[in-house]
């Protein structure tokens, strides 16, 4: 049986990124992105897990890919049983870590402006889309992003734990 990676996403940017990762890794892994926004709850997670299960033995790994810049949503995440793939202030920090270190605190708008300066591919970055050249750059620099993200503390600003999804996929593939 294929392992199933169920990823609840805050919005379209996160879902587009997860879909990109799904396409890159292909089989034997099934990655299911599900945009839940601020409606995330343990009840929703459990329902989706049950819908995906084919047998009792099937393993479903569940992840929450959210920005940490909205306090009420963070409170909802705390009651959910899943691996956090969270970025502070936003997912664009994860994208930025593919190209440079970021240790100073920043707001979401600052992060996006900094990302747009990270290289020619990013000058015209517009949420929620990722161009083919942006995807290629993310894929080619993912190892560096993982290393940089691991040096950042917990869920503080800046931080990103999106690397945990990539590591989970890589661990399974080995």
Average pLDDT across each block of 10 residues of the chain; the chain has 174 residues. List them in order: 86 94 80 88 93 80 94 94 96 98 96 96 95 97 98 92 95 82
Residue 1 is predicted with a pLDDT of 67
**Rg for the chain, CA atoms, rounded:** 16
Residue 29 is predicted with a pLDDT of 66
- Count CB neighbours of 161 within 10 A: 23
8 A C-beta contact, residue 41 and residue 64: no
The packing angle between helices 163-173 and 12-25, to 10°, is 20
Give, as one character, the DSSP assignment of residue 167: H
Residue 54 is predicted with a pLDDT of 75
Residue 105 is predicted with a pLDDT of 96
Q: Angle at the Cα of 114 (from 109 to 119), degrees rounded to 5?
A: 140
- 3-state secondary structure labels for all residues of 86-146: CEECCHHHHHHCCCCCCCCCCCHHHHHHHHHCCCHHHCCCCCCCCCHHHHHHHHHCHHHHH
């Amino acid at each position: 049986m294929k392992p199933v990676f169920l990823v609840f996403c805050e919005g379209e940017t996160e879902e587009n990124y997860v879909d990109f990762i799904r396409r890159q890794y292909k089989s034997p892994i099934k990655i299911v992105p599900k945009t839940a926004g601020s409606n995330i709850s343990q009840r929703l997670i459990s329902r989706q897990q049950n819908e995906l299960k084919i047998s009792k033995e099937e393993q479903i790994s569940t992840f929450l890919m959210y920005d940490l810049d909205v306090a009420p949503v963070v409170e909802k995440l705390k009651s959910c049983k899943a691996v956090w793939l969270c970025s502070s202030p936003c997912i664009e920090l994860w994208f930025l870590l593919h190209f440079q270190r970021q240790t100073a605190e920043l707001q979401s708008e600052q992060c996006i402006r900094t990302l747009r300066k990270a290289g020619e591919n990013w000058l015209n970055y517009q949420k929620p889309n990722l161009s083919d050249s942006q995807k290629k750059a993310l894929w080619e620099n993912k190892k560096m992003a993982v290393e940089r993200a691991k040096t950042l503390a917990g869920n503080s600003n800046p931080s990103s734990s999106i690397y945990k999804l990539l590591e989970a996929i890589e661990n399974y593939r080995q």
